[in-house]
Structure 1
Amino acid sequence: MNGSEPGGSASLDGGEAKLGPPHETARPVIGLTTYLDRARFGVWDARAGLLPAQYIQSLTAAGGIAVLLPPQPVTAEIAARVLDGVNALVITGGRDLDPEGYGQTPHAETDRPDTTRDSWEFALLAEAMKRGMPVLGICRGAQVLNVALGGTLHQHLPDVIGNTGHRAGNGVFTPMPVRTVAGTRAADLLGESCRVQCYHHQAIADVGAKLVVSARDDDGVIEAIELPGEEFVLAVQWHPEESPEDLRLFTAIVAEAGKYASARVAE
């Protein structure tokens, strides 16, 4: 076979080139939403798209390639174009959702809304679910999923459960046990119970349409929700990126992203 034949490979001197070793299986690309917030770096003090490195480190340690998706003006067409470049979506933690989105007025402890990020993540989620793309929600991401499907939130948990244990403050995460619900994807991945890192003052109240509760903590607070069925749509209220010794959720989303990518190639 020479270089002019279909499928041939030629060296620069006209001889046959040697093929290298087979490439490793391509790593799936995972899109992670980010903050758009004020930050200081170097001599700069400016608004920036940013995300704690723990998310990226956990995802890459689990075998994925991380791509950041900062908030920006969005339409359904833009969301579709963005998701053309990834194999799964992770909706990350951040400030509180605008309570107007679930029919409530703001509580005194609710953050000032970031409507650009809200719209961005709702649009990406809608497009991902339309495609059957794997989705993992983390903290705020669980709330985005729930509200997107018609659910509501407790705006300030201490008013509901009488303690501040889920968010101690000052950026200190609270370790706490959660129990999964038998028969759910969360139970399959995490077993009957696990210890997690929490930092949230809001939580899911009324569960959105078609979602099921897949984990609760000792206070009865909903700590995980999911869509039942074959498609991977799972969200947790805690922060798995803060437990680098336990990559099960990140390994799961990477594996599902790989399946999604393979199915797309086969189409």
Structure 2
Amino acid sequence: MNADTNHPASAGHRPVVGICARTAPVTLQGSDLAVCLALRSHVAFLAEAGCTPLLLPPLPGAEDVAGRLDALLVPGGPDLDPALYGARPHPATRAVDPDADRAEIALVERALDAKIPVLAICRGMQLLNVLHGGTLHQHLSDVTGHDGHRPRAASFTLGRRPLKLLPGSRIAGVLDEAEPATACHHHQAVDRLGAGLSATGWADDGTVEALEVTGHPFAVGVQWECGQTPDARLHHALAAAAARAGNSPAAARPGT
């Protein structure tokens, strides 16, 4: 088994992995409510890998718990506020929540500074790029000329695109397969890559599908929807990195 996917049980404790929550409307027992939630698959994959998932609402001050985490998962979600990267909103950009964006950016920045392992998925990868000074294509089909990354369908449908990975990269080591492919659902993507980031995966049309923070023990962004398929390899890789982080001396963990 690849070193990045070893089960963390040997660490002697259950690493705590923060999951950035999403706010969404639901109807429960006839009442319309707004709730903070996470995909059950993210919770289940991390739990089965020996971790304790912890939901983190997108509020100011959430960054203060970063140093007490063993890892952080930043899932998919709504579009980022284009003002964060100096752009005007595209007509297709929607569901923007500037306050939540800034709270999440502060949390991710604090986690990276503390060298906590980070897995950033879809919107999470885009946020990682913007945090490092990068920009986004606000509507990818304007650039690629197709809707293959977010197929037009009556129900939620994943786009399947061949994936080219940088040999020797962390993401290539985690996936470890001859012909990887994405399972994606995104209409935005990396435009200018942020400073201190390395692109490590691309779709067949050149869209950046994976990136890594240079010099960080484990900070990986993927554009595809891991969590919407049965593939738990990235969650298990994060869990293994969390176990290693949990074994580090507390003095080396800012905020603890």
* 1:264 matches 2:249: yes
Q: 1:40 aligns with which of 21, 24, 27?
A: 27
- Identify the residue that residue 131 of structure 1 maps to in structure 2: 114
1:173-201: CA deviation from partner (whole Å, max 9, x where unpaired): 12322111112111121235412310000
1:14-56: CA deviation from partner (whole Å, max 9, x where unpaired): xxxxxxxxx9821211000011121222222111101221211
* 1:58 matches 2:41: no
Structure 1, 94-103 or 227-236: larger mean CA deviation: 227-236
1:80-136: CA deviation from partner (whole Å, max 9, x where unpaired): 2x2243210111100000001001000000013111220121011111011111111
Matched position secondary structure for 1:188: helix
The residue correspondences of 1:1-267 to structure 2 (distance < 5 A) are: 25-72=12-59, 74-75=60-61, 78-80=62-64, 82-169=65-152, 170-191=155-176, 193-244=179-230, 246-265=231-250
- Identify the residue that residue 10 of structure 1 maps to in structure 2: none
Figure out how many residues of one structure are paired with residues of the other and give that number: 240
Amino acid paired to 1:69: L
Percent of aligned positions that are identical: 38
User: How far apart are the structure 2 equivalents of 1:196 and 1:257?
Assistant: 25
RCO (CA 8 Å, sep 6+): is it higher in 1 or 2?
Answer: 2
What runs of 5+ residues in structure 2 fail to find an aligned partner? 1-9
User: How far apart are the structure 2 equivalents of 1:224 and 1:204?
Assistant: 10
Using the size of structure 1 for normalisation, the TM-score is: 0.85
User: How far apart are the structure 2 equivalents of 1:194 and 1:61?
Assistant: 24
User: How far apart are the structure 2 equivalents of 1:42 and 1:258?
Assistant: 40
**Higher Rg of the two aligned structures:** 1
Contact 1:180-1:193 within 8 A present in 2 as well? no
What runs of 5+ residues in structure 1 fail to find an aligned partner? 1-22
User: How far apart are the structure 2 equivalents of 1:196 and 1:61?
Assistant: 23
- 1:236 Cα deviation from its structure 2 partner: 0.2
Go from structure 1 to structure 2 and tell me whether the alpha carbon gap of 1:171 and 1:264 turns closer, same or farther (over 3 Å shift): farther
Go from structure 1 to structure 2 and tell me whether the alpha carbon gap of 1:112 and 1:24 turns closer, same or farther (over 3 Å shift): closer
Go from structure 1 to structure 2 and tell me whether the alpha carbon gap of 1:156 and 1:88 turns closer, same or farther (over 3 Å shift): same
